[in-house]
């Protein structure tokens, strides 16, 4: 391009430098000025025009940017600078297919250009066109015979087989993988294999075809030893297991464990191989040697005896061997010893480590309930702390905590009477305060207090009491205790998570939001841990406040999507084949994350509910959402559950906890909730599109009507199916259990009837059906019922406030918010319909009267339709005013006991108690007042919207 402008390359770069520099520091306006200044001198300088387009894009002037970039692209540039700038723009706009077109045109003009071909290959990588990748890679290899390009073509063939459109067909998969193997075999025969990543790729191809013997021979051969000396040991494990070569695996693991004596993963594989060897010699004896389990026990004992310092690995392995032998009904006690004694020995050695609880918990399910509780009692005695004594040092404190946690896991606390549980709670508080004051001084800001776990355990105990009595006072007291702990130990995320859960349980969104911000969740945690807050926000009573949380979450997903594509491109550039599939799986899991999809849908519903501008502004905002009613963009069968449910620590009785089942039930129900919300959004969008479509031509209107009718049918069918499925609410037996999903709320509230009747109203208004008046009456009745439900819920809340204002608070807030959500969407729809009918009646030309009328019912005139619509708007205005009056009278939640009573029970430092309990109570009051203010503002906006 420099030659086209009559400039030398250095001069060309120097004149563009100010534009690049300003873009790099984010000074986009100055970059635009610099590019325009340069274009005044050199109007045909393509790179400057591309940079101008990038500046406009970053300034938010999208139409101007699109025109500028389109003009440059039509010139079919071939210079690297212009192509790179255009690529950057299209990546920001997520128009990756246009980058492919750019480089295809450039390659046609310079067929052998290595740089252009490499960029074309990477552009195909971004759009996952594996067939095109392979063709370009081979073209590259012919132009420049480098190993990297050859293996680009090999990996492209592999991905055609395992990820391409034909990957579901076993015969096609076999063909592609066979081709990839032959390509590498040819390279090996020619002596051209050079790097460890190439060796890894060949091993991976063999394993994908289940050719484990060939893979083993290659892995243990000279070429692999030369190229890939650092091959992970796990590869050998995997291949030996697949080949059933248990003896060699057993010997290999013994060597590895001798070298690294604390590898729990190696121990598990070693024990598994010992059991497999036992199956091969049923009599237990071979050539006079001891059986494999006896050798395994001797090996473990030797490691324990010969280790210079105590390591957890061999002790845990011995417990695992004992457990596995009992499961196989083998004489474990005779060979290894008494199980309880082994656990107690482990406790003596490692009880002062926080991991000890969950180490021992691994083996508790293998013994009976009676044996568990007897073991828990022995551990409590072993800790050396009694009801009349306190821990003497940090180690004894940690052992006492471990024993108490094991005791709860064994179910020892569940059958205690209420007064015993209260006494236990008081003891836990005293232990916490003693541990904090004695051992918790001068801690770093990032350290957790040594006795914090006492308070966490106390909160769980108080939840048990609250659930028994269906009262909130015990749990409120526990919340105050947790806030006290948080003041002393600001980095304890376990306390923050439990506090967040309790605030949500009581419907206190201000407290929950404070805890969520205090957790400072970032990056990938927004996906894995965001569920603790984001999934509980919808229908919580704060539509506008929720949007900020969704924005932060969605920003991570959209930004990281672009980054993930670049990571995959980099794995090709650096030929790191071992990371390729990992990055691709990661990209798919995030793209199809339930958290991401649910937040996207809820954010759009929030926007529609919260619209407060004039009709033009509201419709502009709606158009910007780009909702396609006819297209379901969610890949339902690929939705990924990325939640880290182990983030909140738990010590609940093992026989009452089924974490896998709880995860399955909650995920299934969350998907069903997403089905309802997504379909509701699309159905409502079809209402708007019927009156606000492009041009509203007859054909378009007909297509929109068909879409609406199909979505309406899906809507009623979805609710019928869900009622037949008979989902049960999630169990709430323990504090750590997930809170119930919104599924049952959505089924109990009149969502189905409300939107079904709205669909018929929209269709009748459009066609002028003779049954329009009847449908208006039906919709009006739904509005009255929804308003009455809202008012009744608030009245019930006020009435129960004298007894306990918190225990049922969350459910009451959800019902009120759901009612207002339906009425707000209805108000938005009426404003759109009214605007369309008003415009239509003004622009409609008068027609000459027709003498011969067609038989049958005539469509209702637009004037009558407009009058009916005005009546619906007047009715809605009155009902919204009634809701506003009720919300204005909604009382803040009142505790079942007064604050002074709580202060006497807290038994913390007197100077702390008053401010602590007062602050928590104030948080509940602030949350209520903020919610009432937001809901009233929402209603004022809707009343203004329909007051035409």
Which of 55-69, 778-792, 842-856 is least confident? 842-856
pLDDT for res 595: 95
Taking 80 as the threshold, does the pLDDT of residue 850 lie above it? no
Long-range pairs for 120-124 at CB < 8 Å and ≥24 separation?
121/152, 121/572, 122/569, 122/572, 122/573, 123/87, 123/96, 123/99, 124/100
Confidence at 2, pLDDT banded by 50, 70, 90: very low
Q: pLDDT band at 462, cuts 50/70/90?
A: very high
What are 685-695's pLDDT values in tens digits?
999 998 876 44
Average pLDDT over residues 486-501: 94
Residue of higher predicted confidence among 305 and 861: 305
Choice among 53-62, 83-92, 386-395, 837-846 with the minimum mean pLDDT: 837-846
Q: For residue 91, which of 566, 457, 803, 539 has the smallest C-alpha distance? A: 566
Whether pLDDT at 147 is above 80: yes
Angle, helices 594-610 vs 910-946, to 10°: value is: 60
The span from the CA of 277 to the CA of 287, in Å, is 14
Q: Are 590 and 574 in contact (CB under 8 A)?
A: no
pLDDT digits over 349-363, tens only? Answer: 999 999 999 999 999
What is the predicted pLDDT for the residue at 339? 95
Per-residue model confidence (pLDDT) at position 289: 43
Question: What percent of the chain is modeled with pLDDT above 90?
Answer: 67
The answer on pLDDT for 697 being more than 50 is: no
Q: Of 876, 869, 875, which is closest to residue 841 (Cα–Cα)?
A: 869
The mean per-residue pLDDT over the stretch 296-313 comes to 91
The pLDDT assigned to 324 comes to 94
Residues 859-908 pLDDT 10s: 788 788 888 999 999 999 999 999 999 999 999 998 777 666 665 666 66
Q: What is the pLDDT of residue 837?
A: 80
User: In this predicted structure, what is the pLDDT of residue 694?
Assistant: 45
Res 821 pLDDT > 80: yes
DSSP labels, 275-319: HHHHHHSTTS-BTTBPPHHHHHHHHHHHHHHH-SS--HHHHHHHH
CB-side neighbour CA atoms (13 Å) of 342: 24
Q: What mean pLDDT comes out for the span 253-270?
A: 93
CA pair distance 113, 242, nearest whole angstrom: 46
Sequential DSSP letters for 336-390: T--HHHHHHHHHHHHTTSTTHHHHHHTTGGGS-HHHHHHHHHHHHHHHT--TT--
Region 643-650 average pLDDT: 92
pLDDT in tens, 206-246: 999 999 999 999 999 999 999 999 888 989 999 999 999 99
For residues 837-859, average pLDDT: 55
- Asked if the model's pLDDT at residue 464 lies above 80, the reply is yes
More confident residue, 757 or 915: 757
Query: Mean pLDDT score of the chain, rounded to an integer?
Result: 89
Q: Give pLDDT tens digits for 90-142.
A: 988 888 999 999 999 999 999 889 999 999 999 999 999 999 999 999 999 99
């Amino acid at each position: 391009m420099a030659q086209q402008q009559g400039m030398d390359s250095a001069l060309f770069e120097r004149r563009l430098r100010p534009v690049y520099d300003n873009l790099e520091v984010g000074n986009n306006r100055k970059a635009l000025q610099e590019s325009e200044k340069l274009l005044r001198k050199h109007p045909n300088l393509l790179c400057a025009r591309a940079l101008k387009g990038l500046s406009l894009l970053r300034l938010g002037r999208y139409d101007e940017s699109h025109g500028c970039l389109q003009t440059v692209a039509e010139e079919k540039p071939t210079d690297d600078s212009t192509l790179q700038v255009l690529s950057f723009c299209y990546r920001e706009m997520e128009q990756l297919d246009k980058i492919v077109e750019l480089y295809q045109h450039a390659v046609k003009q310079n067929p052998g250009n290595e740089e252009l071909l490499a960029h074309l290959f990477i552009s195909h990588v971004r759009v996952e066109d594996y067939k095109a990748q392979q063709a370009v890679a081979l073209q590259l290899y012919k132009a420049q015979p480098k190993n990297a390009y050859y293996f680009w073509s090999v990996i492209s063939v592999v991905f055609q087989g395992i990820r391409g459109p034909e990957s579901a067909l076993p015969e096609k998969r076999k063909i592609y993988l066979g081709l990839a193997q032959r390509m590498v075999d040819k390279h090996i025969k020619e002596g051209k294999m050079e790097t460890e990543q190439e060796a890894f790729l060949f091993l991976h191809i063999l394993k994908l075809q289940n050719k484990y013997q060939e893979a083993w021979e290659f892995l243990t051969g000279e070429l692999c030893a030369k190229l890939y000396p650092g091959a992970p040991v796990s590869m050998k494990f995997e291949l030996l297991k697949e080949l059933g070569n248990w003896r060699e695996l057993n010997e290999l693991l013994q060597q590895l464990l001798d070298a690294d004596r604390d590898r729990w993963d190696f121990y598990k594989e070693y024990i598994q191989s010992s059991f497999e060897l036992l199956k091969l010699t049923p009599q237990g004896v071979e050539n006079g040697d001891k059986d494999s389990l006896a050798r395994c026990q001797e090996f473990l004992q030797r490691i324990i005896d010969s280790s210079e310092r105590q390591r957890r690995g061999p002790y845990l392995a011995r417990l695992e061997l004992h457990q596995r032998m009992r499961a196989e009904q083998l004489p474990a006690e005779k060979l290894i010893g008494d199980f309880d004694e082994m656990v107690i020995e482990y406790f003596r050695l490692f009880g002062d480590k926080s991991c000890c609880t969950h180490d021992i918990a691994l083996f508790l399910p293998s013994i009976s309930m009676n044996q568990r509780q007897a073991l828990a009692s022995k551990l409590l005695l072993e800790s050396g702390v009694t009801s009349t004594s306190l821990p003497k040092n940090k180690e004894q404190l940690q052992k006492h905590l471990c024993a108490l946690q094991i005791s709860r896991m064994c179910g020892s606390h569940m059958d205690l009477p209420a007064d015993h549980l209260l006494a236990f709670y008081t003891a836990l508080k005293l232990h916490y305060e003693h541990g904090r004051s004695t051992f918790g001084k001068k801690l770093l800001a990032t350290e957790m207090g040594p006795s914090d776990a006492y308070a966490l355990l106390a909160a769980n105990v108080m939840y048990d009491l609250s659930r028994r009595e269906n009262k909130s006072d015990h749990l409120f007291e526990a919340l105050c205790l947790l806030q006290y702990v948080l003041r002393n130990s600001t980095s304890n995320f376990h306390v923050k998570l439990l506090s967040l859960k309790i605030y949500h349980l009581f419907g206190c969104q201000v407290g929950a939001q404070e805890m969520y911000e205090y957790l400072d969740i970032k990056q990938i945690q927004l996906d894995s841990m965001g569920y603790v807050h984001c999934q509980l926000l919808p229908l919580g009573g704060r539509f506008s406040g929720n949007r900020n949380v969704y924005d932060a979450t969605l920003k991570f997903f959209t930004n990281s999507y672009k980054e993930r594509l670049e990571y995959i491109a980099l794995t090709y550039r650096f030929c790191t084949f071992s990371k390729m599939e990992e990055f691709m799986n990661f990209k798919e899991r995030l793209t199809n994350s339930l958290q991401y999809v649910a937040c996207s849908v809820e954010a759009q519903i929030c926007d529609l509910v919260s619209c407060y501008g004039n009709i033009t502004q509201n419709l502009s905002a709606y158009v910007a959402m780009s909702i396609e009613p006819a297209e379901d963009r969610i890949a339902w069968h690929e939705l990924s559950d990325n939640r880290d449910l182990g983030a909140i620590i738990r010590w609940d009785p093992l026989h009452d906890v089924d974490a896998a089942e709880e995860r399955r039930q909650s995920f299934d129900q969350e998907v069903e909730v997403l089905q309802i919300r997504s379909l509701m959004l699309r159905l409502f969008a079809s209402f708007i599109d019927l009156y606000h479509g492009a041009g509203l031509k007859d054909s378009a209107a007909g297509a929109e009507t068909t879409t609406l009718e199909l979505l309406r049918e899906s809507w009623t069918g979805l609710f019928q199916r869900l009622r037949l499925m008979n989902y049960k609410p999630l169990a709430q037996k323990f504090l750590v259990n997930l809170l119930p999903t919104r599924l049952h709320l959505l089924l109990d509230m009149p969502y189905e009837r409300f939107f079904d009747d709205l669909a018929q109203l929209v269709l009748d208004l459009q066609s002028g059906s003779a049954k329009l008046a009847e449908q208006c009456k039906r919709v009006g009745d739904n509005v009255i019922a929804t308003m009455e439900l809202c008012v009744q819920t608030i009245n019930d809340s006020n009435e129960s406030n004298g007894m306990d204002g918190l225990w049922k608070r969350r459910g009451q807030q959800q019902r009120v918010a759901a009612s207002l959500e339906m009425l707000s969407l209805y108000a938005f729809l009426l404003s759109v319909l009214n605007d369309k009918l008003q415009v239509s009646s003004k622009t409609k030309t008068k027609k000459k009267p027709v003498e011969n009328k067609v038989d049958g019912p005539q469509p209702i005139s637009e004037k009558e339709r407009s009058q009916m619509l005005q009546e619906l708007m007047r009715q809605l205005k009155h009902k919204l005013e009634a809701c506003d009056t009720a919300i204005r009278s909604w009382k803040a939640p009142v505790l079942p006991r007064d604050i002074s009573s709580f202060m006497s029970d807290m038994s913390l430092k007197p100077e702390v108690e008053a401010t602590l309990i007062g602050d928590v109570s104030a948080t509940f009051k602030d949350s209520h007042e903020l919610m009432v203010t937001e809901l009233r503002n929402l209603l004022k906006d809707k009343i203004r919207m329909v007051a035409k």
